[in-house]
Amino acid sequence: MRVTTSFPLGTLRDTPSEAEIISHQLLLKGGYIRRVNSGIYAYMPIMFRVIEKISSIIDKELISIGCTKLLLPQLHPADLWRKSERWEGYTEGEGIMFNLKDRQGKEFGLAPTHEEVITCIASEIINSYKQLPQCYYQIQTKFRDEIRPRFGLMRSREFIMKDGYSFHSSKKDLASFYEKMGNAYGNIFQNCGLQTVGVEADSGAIGGASSKEFMVTANAGEDTILFTESGSYAANLEKAFSIPSQAIPLKKYSSEWLDTPNQKTIEDICKKNNLDPSQIVKVVIFIGKFEDKTELPIIACIRGDQHINEVKLFNLLNKKYATNLIKLNIVEDNTIIKKNLVNLPLGFIGPDIDNKTIKIDSNWDKSWIKIADESASNLSTFISGGNKVNTHKVFREFSFTEKDYLIADIRNAKKGDRININSDEKLQEKKGIEIGHIFQLGQKYSEKLNANFSDKDGQLKNLWMGCYGIGVTRIAQAAIEQNHDEHGICWPIQISPFQIIIIPINFKDPIQRKLTEEIYEDLMNNKIDVLLDDRDDRAGVKFKDADLIGIPFQIIIGRDSINKEVEFSCRAQKTKIKLKANKLLETFISESKVMYNKNS
């Protein structure tokens, strides 16, 4: 490819002010992407080459484990999503599914994921256990109306994703395929030249049993990963479990009541009364909104020095009730409290709250759902709200179980916690970018969509399913986040748009030009991805652009052309070696081999 005729670069001199993180800045500055709207980007030719490289790495690996590539529609009928009972949850309120009506008034949604469509199609094709297992995948644009798109391709509303769906005759076969897929994912990311960590994860709105996320570790990541140094445990914060630190025993209090004027936060109470946060039980009120429009008031208790994990709480409630929980809102607005509760001031609510506190005319359900984390229920003596303004209470021998509390893990694990009682290993924390997620869905979708097969015993059974996603455009940006320097991108060679860029210093000089053309021709004939910067620009401009767009090898053709000598430069290491033009090919082959092996 030639910069002047077939491959204009479109690099920018200044960094557009809209970009916050380095990878986003470099994508814009390097001319890889252009913003069309909030969270919607055009992938420029140079970006599309990266996308194609990543796609072919994925194809190669997935085909090797027996997956089949196809392409599914992006516009899905609402009825199909109603069958899986996901339409409401994905469209209502702040749902992420773009939806619209056609001219007949029929409802459609732009696909954020494809379980429904593929399950429907697979069930038509698959009749017998003899056809199983099967795994279909596609690489396609997905749409998600994110509440706040940000960081360029990291969280965009339109993005490219590889999504795969497997079908099995048994749970066991699903589990073994899931393992196989996990290994394939490891290979894919390694073949993309990325450093990743596999972590246990929450399966979120997709649902299902087991799920694992693949994270690129980077400070710009939006997820928090907790792990042990030895690698014995790694999980997303949403899912992570740990043993909380020891609570400090409460000293004896003579009176039952504490005057705590205007002390609404744990911090205030501790400061003014010489207490430790671990001696307090924090009481948080939530409102759960269900699909059938009911609103349940929830009271959640946790030790004062710990934090409630809303994902865990959400999942717990969702499992407990027959209808789907759509939203879980923390109640911290006093007007909402006053409207629904009798004389209950926020900040002073205690675990011994009574059902009578819910007003008759409230549209909430009239009894509390009570949930306590073990960190709270393990305390025998503690301080908590007195259910009266400016008052806290000393609780002695309070039993959460006797007061109808459900005891469950609703706590955020944190850095420094131990992972189990028998181990001294402590959790560490890092930020990560989720680039892949694999799920064992089980029979959730095949039941709802009635996807059956005849098993060996002649009985009709629901298909066992897994689903597997990779954020293709997100990989590209994550790779930049992990591989850049002050001059620009340093692509891993595996996913770089080109392997080599040729920079003739003075393209008007007939000797340099002749040598440049010879070298370009030779590399092209040897099927090497090479970009020729044949612009009639000053050397500095071409050097800056080459460094910015980050192609791993640069061939600089300058004044030594007369002796058929050129420079071979490695972008990331900034090393330069002089060599004869006829040694270029072998040097590139050996140097790139080193690079491939280092990264994969």
Residues that bind RNA (CB under 7 A): 11-18, 20, 35, 37-39, 94, 96, 112-113, 142, 144, 146-151, 155, 159, 161, 203-206, 222, 310, 314, 327-330, 434, 437, 469, 471, 487, 505-506, 508, 538-541, 543-548, 556, 558-560, 567, 569, 576
Q: Where are the alpha helices (DSSP H) in 427-583?
A: 444-448, 472-482, 510-525, 539-549
Which residues on neighbouring strands pair with residue 337, listed in sequence order? none
Closest CB to RNA among 417 and 533? Answer: 533
How near is the Cβ of 140 to RNA at its closest, in Å?
11
CB of 454 to RNA, least distance (A): 32
Least Å distance between CB 488 and RNA? 8
The HSE-up count of residue 444 (CA atoms within 13 Å, CB side) is: 18
502-514 burial, b for 16+ CB within 10 Å, e for fewer?
A: bbbbbbebeebbe
307/461 with CB nearer RNA: 307
CB of 367 to RNA, least distance (A): 24
Q: Which is nearer to RNA, 415 or 576 (CB)?
A: 576
- 237 vs 463 by CB, closer to RNA: 237
The encoded tokens of residue 83 equal 């069958």
d(CA 198, CA 182): 9
β-sheet bridge partners, residue 212: 200, 438
Phi, psi at residue 481, to the nearest 5°?
-55, -35
In terms of CB distance, is 94 or 102 closer to RNA?
94
d(CA 39, CA 139): 19
For the CB of residue 505, give the shortest distance to RNA in the complex, in Å: 4
The size of the chain, in residues, is 600
Distance of closest approach, residue 360 Cβ to RNA, in angstroms? 29
Comparison of 186 and 596: residue with beta carbon closer to RNA? 186
Query: What is the DSSP track for 395-421?
Result: EES--TTTTTPEEE--B---TT-BSST
Nearer to RNA, 275 or 302 (CB): 302
Given the complex with RNA, which of 132 and 206 has the nearer CB atom? 206
Longest alpha-carbon distance in the chain: 97
List alpha helices for 324-439, DSSP H.
Answer: 334-340, 374-377
Say if CB 237 and CB 434 are below 8 A apart: no
Tokens standing for residue 525:
């004939």
In the chain, DSSP finds a helix count (H) and a strand count (E) of 15, 31
- Minimum CB separation of residue 577 from RNA in Å reads 11
- Minimum distance, C-beta of residue 38 to RNA, in the bound complex (Å): 3
Residue 252 has a CB neighbour count (10 Å cut-off) of: 8
